[in-house]
Amino acid sequence: MVTTLAQLIGVLDAAYPPQLAESWDSVGLVCGDPRDEVTRVLIAVDATAEVVAEAVDWRAQALVVHHPLLLRGVDSVAADTPKGALIHRLVRSGCALFTAHTNADSAAPGVSDALAAALGLTVTGPLDPKSADAVDNWTVQVPRADTDRVLDALFAAGAGGTGHYRDCALRTPSVGQFRPVAGAEPATGAIGELERVEEDRIEVVAPPGARARVLAALRAAHPYEEPAYHVTERAPLPAGVGIGRVGTLPRPETLRAFTARVRAALPRTVWGVRAAGDPDREISSVAVCGGAGDSYLSVVRRLGVDAYVTSDLRHHPTDEHLRAGGPALVDAAHWATEFPWCAQAEAIVRTALPALETRVCLVRTDPWTVDGTH
Ligand SMILES: [Zn+2]
């Protein structure tokens, strides 16, 4: 049974839905033919020259990475440019390149779940939850004899679907009333007379993108000259996905002990692991964000956690954060905080496509190489 690159992409897109990616990001297939057969998949944080060499030497047909190789606008992948050379090497070796970046950050499980698990945290939710998809709720009054026909028209226009259900509606019997005045052309009743009609009040949900279509269908199917209806958009609700995670330690420990825990849990790097804050501060609740998480410093202050683990923290934001009474900060190498994701992605691929050979690339792609101690 042949496994295609398209099947591998299907598994990765299901685990890390591309629509979860931030708007500025570039995720998905960078090079490769979805129709090609895949037998070996290498997983890494970065597509560096060393990582690409390992993929090619191992004769992998797919290299799955976290960081986009080509993020900003690209005019050329000529082989005499550093990134173009890698693309050429991959294409010539029959190895596809696939990226799961901020979609893998926000998915559940995602990058920060892997980091939280490595640290022994019990995750309670995302650090920065994404809102669930917006939903319109339509309420329409329909003369009872026309309820089924109007509902069918609304369903055909995209209303009434939720999850794995369709044709969903609430119908409540009611009595409508109206008095047509001069100029009206009522479907029922007479000018100047108060008319009472047995009606159903129907409620259906629809995506906001279908609003114009649903309204046109409603007007076309409804017998009244002026149908009575209203549309409300559901208030945004936090979904279970989003950047970063919040969790708790099995039991409280000092910042000193917690920092040692982080150091022991992550692969060794020149960057190392360091903490900012009182070493004796008790740590119980922890926020984590794999990769550069300094843009969430104000968020973790509001959350009231005891510590925040991320990477790429700078002097002034760190100093100001501590002055503002924020949680202790633990800073690790960017690559090290995202490396645990590789095993997560590997397990997802292996479970869905057991015929594939998978491997996590152990090359340390953190750019820092010398710590000056010897
Ligand atoms: Zn990153």
Instruction: Report which of 307, 313, 321 is spatially closest to residue 257, judged by C-alpha positions.
Output: 307
CA of 258 to the centre of ligand 1 (A): 23
Mean pLDDT of 36-55: 98
Of 44-48, 71-75, 99-103, 172-176, the poorest mean pLDDT is in 71-75
- The pTM (predicted TM-score) of the whole model is 0.80
CA distance 220 to 230: 16
How far apart are the CA of 198 and the centre of ligand 1, in A?
Answer: 61
Is a pLDDT exceeding 80 seen at residue 54? yes
Average the pLDDT over 32-54 and give the result. Answer: 98
DSSP, collapsed to helix, strand or coil, labels residue 79 as coil
Residues, beta carbon < 5 Å, ion ligand 1: 291
Helices and strands (H, E) in the chain, number of each type: 11, 15
**Rounded CA separation 88/351 (Å):** 31
Q: Residue 237 above 80 pLDDT?
A: no
**What was the pLDDT predicted at 1?**
81
238 CA to centre of ligand 1 in angstroms: 24
CA of 100 to the centre of ligand 1 (A): 11
pLDDT range class, residue 368, cuts 50, 70, 90:
very high
For residue 198, pLDDT beyond 80:
yes
What is the mean predicted confidence (pLDDT) over 68-76? 88
- Say how many Å lie between the CA of residue 346 and the centre of ligand 1: 18
pLDDT band at 274 (very low <50, low <70, confident <90, very high): very high
Local structure of residue 236 (DSSP, 8 states): P
pLDDT of residue 64: 98
- Omega prior to 267 cis, within 30 of 0: no
pLDDT at residue 134, rounded to an integer: 85
Measure 333 CA to ligand 1 centroid, in angstroms: 10
pLDDT band at 242 (very low <50, low <70, confident <90, very high): very high
Query: Separation of 134 CA from ligand 1 center, angstroms?
Result: 29
pLDDT at residue 239, as a whole number:
77
How remote is the CA of residue 166 from the centroid of ligand 1, in Å?
Answer: 39
Please give the DSSP secondary-structure letter assigned to residue 67.
Answer: S
